[in-house]
Chains A and B, each alone.
Chain A
């Protein structure tokens, strides 16, 4: 607990309405969306303007209080699980869109702006902000940058980091650091933005974010194809890319997932199919039509058993409804959902799917897999009940095996969900001991007291 003069000082900075110390409130900031053990913070602070944010960080530094910044708390890797006795800083009240510049195609936002709200504001100006994580209805842009969040459009449009033009952030002592700019080009100083994107609150606290905007595509077209073997679906993916077509979205669903989705939402999916591909093309109308025909014939020649091209918006919505409901449909089967994020080079998807099948058999677990086939980012989803200790051990072993296989196939631990606490002990395995030490030295130089989200990514 934080008491006495320090509590007074925090209260003076952010206002009594924005300091929470009651044990019940502290419990509600002890977890996030990762399946990990909660840790109670000592105090929760909600600054309402930039200066207060900086001052709060400074005060925490002076008093050696660990700081965990929290947006919507939807990350899946424990990035917002605080340290024992630490402070949680909420960005909820820093949620202004400061500027949407239609001439120079950028926007300046505070970190607590909700992703979907921002995307809608940009759209209302006739512009486009592509990153669309599945959690966008609640996730914050600060959280997106700190996790380098992806989404369905990653294949063609990239991830959050690809849209960060500049950042203003507070260092561990509460001093304001600026990097990048409002210009398309900028080589002034080190590229600190690259270091801060995906840093999960361990290297600085974002105060303002400059994001790139682009013109929206004129036309979109969606289609859905099913295959009798994962291998065939994968061949279709490879052939699409080989034809120099880059769909905005190229999603995959395995048989277990599509059966579950069909059970749940009755959208008319062929439940016998081994794999389902969902494709969305966008761009100029003529090109979209052209590409759509090519994709259609590629899918057919790769042995698609069923092909549905959406003819209008409502059909398009139906196609995507299947994908959107994937997680909810799976989640309803068992109490605990472990949403994994291992990513492999796209050509290795069949091998990875094979491995996942073996893992699920070996550990006698239910795993449904869906994900971004276009970029090899699969989401094997383990359905379990954390309260069953014996089963939970098998789950942990399975997670271990999933990482092992992904790495053997030349893949990575995490495509978009981050490392946080959940995967920090695997980091060395994917990289080298030296990589970990190098990272720790950077952290140590920038945050000698180790107060910024300690333990995340690189361990303690």
Chain B
């Protein structure tokens, strides 16, 4: 029998945070998982009560609580809406780490995280290898969306996924180190795994846009994952390794800001690196904090720092209608939602149109969609329906993870709607224009 008292003692560190929940139940109105399942165990109130139950030693075995805790997108919708200000995401991430530390990491995840993710060099190699052979088991299904599906029975089920890029960003552009241009600014660029390996064109565009605006760029060689997949599975060891690795790589000289085109990376670096990375030396901690302070979503940088504004010339009728999906990690975690819209308004060939429920989660939630694809899919269909109802031929967003899931949903519904990163559209419109 497992020693539940020991687990309860470990959970004491979140006891004060748990006590803040007044069980008002208001989180039911915003939780995407609860909206599909209607189960109290799926909404923040239920999960917080379960953690409280563990703390009170109400259970003989933590499995039931752990399973329910993992049925969560970590989208933060509950936290943003909570009248009592419960730090729901902090609690869930800490609790996952504590429970995983106690039960041990699932062997499959352990293998993937510790042997691959934690070793960026090897990780890149494996993915490149994968991109060569994927044609064997995947066949293209939607040209506009660039999605494929499995040729035969596979663990990916009936998903329509984006194959790995033939040439990842790090292969095309191993590193960048340019001095500040006309803007006088120099930034670090952190593409993130998904942009690097699946949507390298977003990375290329980002570099182009920064160059256009006269911004110097430093992109380190051999950057690692931001660590969120490991952390959300409770693997703090791999997370710590990755934070350290990246900190080392980003050891650069006078960066005014650190930019990412990935909402998830931005919020992880900004919010989780400073609070969750353990075992750092005091000097490293200071660097993490200062880096986190300077980390921005790339559209936030363009609008807030470079003052990119709406494009007002020309006939509206000539422009392609585009709508925008708010990634939870930008809007809910960081309160960034105006800037990406402004970038769309600054894109001369496009006409921005708001869709219904733009800030409702797309259902991806990273590894959540691997474990609970059925729920992910039903949340995604709601997003798909809203996109389709907007009548736009393009949906833009600011997170490659959302791009993957939304593409899957649109492709399965046989929609001819393109999924783009806001930057891609902006970059497209800069072509032929003179650099600032």
Interface residues, chain A, with chain B CB atoms under 8 Å away: 20, 22-25, 27-33, 35, 38, 46, 72-74, 90, 92-93, 114, 116, 135, 137-138, 327-328, 331-332, 335-337, 385-387
In the complex, the answer to whether B49 meets A27 with C-beta atoms within 8 Å is yes
In the complex, the answer to whether B83 meets A328 with C-beta atoms within 8 Å is yes
Closest chain B residue, CB of each to CB of A264: B85
CA distance A25 to B43 in the complex (A): 12
CA distance A29 to B40 in the complex (A): 7
Instruction: Pick from B26, B53, B64, B68: contact of A137, CB below 8 A.
Output: B26
Residue numbers in A under 8 Å from B64 (CB-CB): 22-25
Residue numbers in B under 8 Å from A31 (CB-CB): 23, 49
The total of Cβ contacts below 8 Å across the A-B interface reads 85
20 contacts between A and B (CB under 8 A): A23-B58, A24-B41, A25-B41, A27-B49, A27-B50, A27-B53, A28-B49, A29-B40, A32-B23, A33-B24, A33-B25, A38-B49, A137-B29, A138-B29, A327-B83, A328-B83, A331-B85, A332-B83, A335-B19, A335-B20
In the complex, the answer to whether A27 meets B58 with C-beta atoms within 8 Å is yes
Closest chain B residue, CB of each to CB of A29: B40
Residue numbers in B under 8 Å from A38 (CB-CB): 49
Closest chain B residue, CB of each to CB of A93: B38
In the complex, the answer to whether B84 meets A332 with C-beta atoms within 8 Å is yes
Check B22 for interface membership: any CB of A closer than 8 A. Answer: yes
In the complex, the answer to whether B59 meets A28 with C-beta atoms within 8 Å is no
Residue numbers in A under 8 Å from B28 (CB-CB): 72, 138
CA distance A374 to B34 in the complex (A): 37
In the complex, the answer to whether B38 meets A135 with C-beta atoms within 8 Å is no
- Name the 9 nearest CB pairs between A and B, nearest first: A24-B64, A328-B83, A28-B46, A28-B40, A335-B19, A137-B29, A92-B38, A331-B84, A74-B25
12 additional contacts, CB 8 Å, given A328-B84, A331-B84, A332-B83?
A: A25-B41, A28-B39, A28-B41, A28-B50, A29-B40, A92-B38, A93-B38, A135-B24, A138-B29, A331-B83, A332-B84, A386-B19
In the complex, the answer to whether A73 meets B40 with C-beta atoms within 8 Å is yes
In residues 34-77 of chain B, which contact A (Cβ within 8 Å)? 38-41, 46, 49-50, 53, 58-59, 64-65, 67-68
In the complex, the answer to whether A24 meets B19 with C-beta atoms within 8 Å is no
Interface size on B, residues (CB 8 A): 27
Closest chain A residue, CB of each to CB of B40: A28
In the complex, the answer to whether A46 meets B50 with C-beta atoms within 8 Å is no
Closest chain A residue, CB of each to CB of B19: A335
Distance in angstroms from B56 CB to nearest chain A CB is: 10
CA distance A38 to B131 in the complex (A): 53
Interface residues, chain B, with chain A CB atoms under 8 Å away: 16, 19-20, 22-26, 28-29, 38-41, 46, 49-50, 53, 58-59, 64-65, 67-68, 83-85
In the complex, the answer to whether A337 meets B84 with C-beta atoms within 8 Å is yes
Distance in angstroms from B102 CB to nearest chain A CB is: 16
Residue numbers in B under 8 Å from A337 (CB-CB): 22, 84
CA distance A331 to B26 in the complex (A): 13
Residue numbers in A under 8 Å from B40 (CB-CB): 25, 28-29, 73
Residue numbers in B under 8 Å from A24 (CB-CB): 41, 50, 53, 59, 64-65, 67-68
Residue numbers in A under 8 Å from B67 (CB-CB): 24
Residue numbers in B under 8 Å from A23 (CB-CB): 58-59, 64
In the complex, the answer to whether A72 meets B38 with C-beta atoms within 8 Å is no
CA distance A385 to B84 in the complex (A): 13
In the complex, the answer to whether A331 meets B23 with C-beta atoms within 8 Å is no
Residue numbers in B under 8 Å from A92 (CB-CB): 38
CA distance A30 to B67 in the complex (A): 19
CA distance A80 to B20 in the complex (A): 21
Distance in angstroms from A326 CB to nearest chain B CB is: 10
Residue numbers in A under 8 Å from B20 (CB-CB): 335
Residue numbers in A under 8 Å from B68 (CB-CB): 24, 28
Residue numbers in B under 8 Å from A327 (CB-CB): 83
In the complex, the answer to whether B25 meets A72 with C-beta atoms within 8 Å is yes
In the complex, the answer to whether B59 meets A331 with C-beta atoms within 8 Å is no
Closest chain B residue, CB of each to CB of A31: B23
In the complex, the answer to whether B39 meets A25 with C-beta atoms within 8 Å is yes
Most buried by A among B25, B28, B53, B68: B25
Most buried by B among A24, A27, A331, A335: A24
Residue numbers in A under 8 Å from B50 (CB-CB): 24, 27-28
Residue numbers in A under 8 Å from B38 (CB-CB): 46, 90, 92-93
Closest chain B residue, CB of each to CB of A30: B49
Residue numbers in B under 8 Å from A29 (CB-CB): 40
In the complex, the answer to whether B26 meets A135 with C-beta atoms within 8 Å is yes
Residue numbers in B under 8 Å from A328 (CB-CB): 83-85
Knowing A138-B29, A327-B83 are in contact, say whether A33-B19 is a contact too (CB < 8 A).
Answer: no
Knowing A25-B41, A90-B38, A337-B84 are in contact, say whether A33-B23 is a contact too (CB < 8 A).
Answer: yes
Distance in angstroms from B381 CB to nearest chain A CB is: 18
CA distance A24 to B51 in the complex (A): 10
Closest chain B residue, CB of each to CB of A136: B29
Closest chain B residue, CB of each to CB of A40: B58
Knowing A24-B65, A25-B41, A27-B50 are in contact, say whether A331-B22 is a contact too (CB < 8 A).
Answer: yes
CA distance A311 to B29 in the complex (A): 31
In the complex, the answer to whether A73 meets B84 with C-beta atoms within 8 Å is no
Residue numbers in B under 8 Å from A28 (CB-CB): 39-41, 46, 49-50, 68
Closest chain B residue, CB of each to CB of A325: B83
Residue numbers in A under 8 Å from B29 (CB-CB): 114, 116, 137-138
Distance in angstroms from B27 CB to nearest chain A CB is: 8
CA distance A332 to B50 in the complex (A): 22
Closest chain A residue, CB of each to CB of B68: A24
Residue numbers in B under 8 Å from A74 (CB-CB): 24-26
Residue numbers in A under 8 Å from B83 (CB-CB): 327-328, 331-332
Most buried by A among B26, B58, B59: B26
In the complex, the answer to whether B58 meets A33 with C-beta atoms within 8 Å is no
In the complex, the answer to whether B25 meets A138 with C-beta atoms within 8 Å is yes
Distance in angstroms from A138 CB to nearest chain B CB is: 4
Residue numbers in B under 8 Å from A135 (CB-CB): 24-26
Residue numbers in A under 8 Å from B22 (CB-CB): 33, 35, 331, 335-337
Distance in angstroms from B75 CB to nearest chain A CB is: 17
Distance in angstroms from B29 CB to nearest chain A CB is: 4
Residue numbers in A under 8 Å from B65 (CB-CB): 24
CA distance A102 to B80 in the complex (A): 37
Most buried by A among B41, B59, B83: B83
CA distance A375 to B148 in the complex (A): 63
CA distance A278 to B64 in the complex (A): 47
